A and B are shown apart, each in its own frame.
Chain A
Amino acid sequence: MKKVFAIALGIVTAIGGFLDAGTVATSGEAGAKYGFGLIWAVILATIEIILLVEMVGRFTAVSQKTYADAIREKFGFKFYLFPLASELIAESLLLAAELGGVAIALSLLTGISWHYLFPVAALLVLVLVWSASFDIIENGPALLGLVTLSFLVGVILLGPPKLTLLQTLWKPPVQQGQFADYLYLVAAILGSTISPYLLYFYSSGAIEEHWSGKSLLLNRVTAIVGMGFGSIGSLALLILSAIVLRPLNMQAGTLGEIGLALAKPLGIVGSYLFAVALFATCLGAALEVTLAVSYNVAQGFGWEWGQNQNPVQTARYYTFMIVFLLIAVIIGLTGTDPLQLALFASTVIALFLPISLSPFLFIMNDPAYLKDKTNGWFDNTAIILILLIAFAVAIVSIPLEIITGGG
């Protein structure tokens, strides 16, 4: 019974915790600009994240090591600095975007400018990481995040899409001069879904929850069913934006604008549901990003770490966490729009994916860690292909986006 409950909780939290500022921004903008023309990218990214989460869970359950431990021990300190640096750059941008998302959600609920609410969001995250246990951080916002299923309700209430919109599924409406922007969004979708922070968070969480070889079923079900269904929220938001915002020529340029997509089928309740969904998903992601990067640094340098201990027992881990939060607050206080920041952070993550994840391929094929549970050829081929796609798209689209100024 306990096992069934653990599996159910794992699935539910994976569904509720799938979205974040990056996925909300990319799904909303993709639907509004290109109709269903980027659904393929969401599906591709979902397949990739299912594979990666299953692998990292298997790795930690069998080896009792986290991903950061393994990178440092197998490749040495010098190599470890590359994924670490890429994580610090990309995730500090992402954390600033997530805090901005929380602030905008609070702004939608209270009417106060998000600029004033940004420090409040940062303070809320600080208080939670300081005082809450791992279970609360993992499950609390994710359970609240189930409200993202209202996106699916919205799609059902709107009814079937028009044929012209359906055609965008196989014929994306990319007009002249928009190709760079299209590629930029592909990279952002891949980067926002396949965020390496998830790997650090998931593997550290497996240690926090004392996973062992017996947890492999829980891991597999959580990865496949939880992440698979979790992508429904992302797909539903993309479809909503395509049905509601695209005909109005709205580009989903802000998170608030994306929220209008839910207001059409559900009225004022839809607006509030979107605000709550945005709050829950961005808060959950902000907590996970903060923890993931702190876990990474603490494990890489061999410090005591863990969310289930008093802060004083893991003083270096908590000190880094506070410094990292401060960096994100400084980035956020520059006033950059959280949606644009989320898109940029997601594209940067896509660019860094080969650096972040290539060690993973080697580790997952090392019997010294995984005994007889190493990767098969399918896992390896799929990961390499998708990593290459993400990298190629990001490296082409970022300069193009800068040169063309987004047009």
Chain B
Amino acid sequence: MKEQQQEQVREQEREEIREEIAPREQILVMRNIMDNQLESSDDIEIGRVADIEAELRPDGRLVLTRLLTGPEALAGRISSRLRPIVHFLLRNHFEHSIPIDEINGFHPTLRLRGRAIDYATGESERWLANHIFRWLPGSGWKEWHEQFEQPATGAAETETAAETRTEETRAPGHATPGNAAAASHQSQHHSH
């Protein structure tokens, strides 16, 4: 019952966002959110929007679907020729995408609905913390681990619940090679 109510609230919010962005303003919005800061609900800055993925719907509407982060997307911003080279070197390992529904309103800082740990974007921060900083004296790893990493089971629950909400939203982070390639292709037309 509670889940249903939450889902209704979410759907209402999504509709508000869609209405908020009139079709003629969508391209402007796409331009405006490029390079903006991504901040999770627990106030952690996890990255910046490197590129965007948009879909041209049958009714002619251009709909923003995902935000991309990672070096390949950034390389594509510098030169379209650079992107395949970076892709060959990194093989999508650092490419992530966030469904547009995860954004809790369009402001200069894009605030996300989930916590930092829910997104693969910013995973490198946690990797460095858990594999290198934990061995360095004075890094504060123990306190950090107890505070932020331990409730990971809670995060997993959130994610599971989120996945049931809609097949398009959440599934935080991990861009599959397929959708990253699509993003690359589409964003070349819409993002610059």
Contact = CB atoms under 8 A, between A and B. Distances in A.
A226 B34 CA distance: 38
A363 to B, nearest CB: 13
B105 interface: no
Contact of B35 (A73, A303, A318): A73
B50 interface: yes
A167 interface: no
Contacts of A303: 45, 47, 122, 125
Contacts of A310: 139-141, 143-144
A123 to B, nearest CB: 14
A311 B77 contact: no
Given A303-B125, A305-B45, A316-B125, A78 B140 contact: no
A396 interface: no
A128 B74 CA distance: 33
A77 B77 contact: yes
Contacts of B132: 315, 319
B34 A76 contact: yes
Nearest to B32: A73
B46 interface: yes
B35 A319 contact: no
A381 interface: no
Interface of B is mostly: mixed
Interface of A: 65, 69, 72-73, 76-78, 80-81, 130-131, 300-305, 310-316, 318-319
Contacts of B45: 302-305
Contacts of B128: 315-316, 319
Interface stretch (B17-25, B36-44, B54-62, B182-190): B36-44
B106 interface: no
A311 to B, nearest CB: 5
6 contacts: A65-B108, A77-B50, A302-B45, A304-B45, A304-B122, A314-B125
Contacts of B141: 310, 312
Given A81-B78, A313-B140, A315-B129, A304 B44 contact: yes
Contact of A311 (B36, B47, B78, B133): B133
Given A302-B46, A310-B140, A311-B138, A73 B129 contact: no
A65 B36 CA distance: 12
Contact of A72 (B35, B134, B138, B140): B35
A297 to B, nearest CB: 12
Contact of B108 (A73, A78, A130, A305): A73
A312 B139 contact: yes
Contacts of A131: 138
A137 B47 CA distance: 26
Among A78, A304, A312, A319, chain B packs the most CB atoms within 10 A around the CB of A312
Nearest to A301: B48
B136 interface: yes
Among B125, B140, B143, chain A packs the most CB atoms within 10 A around the CB of B125
A300 B48 CA distance: 8
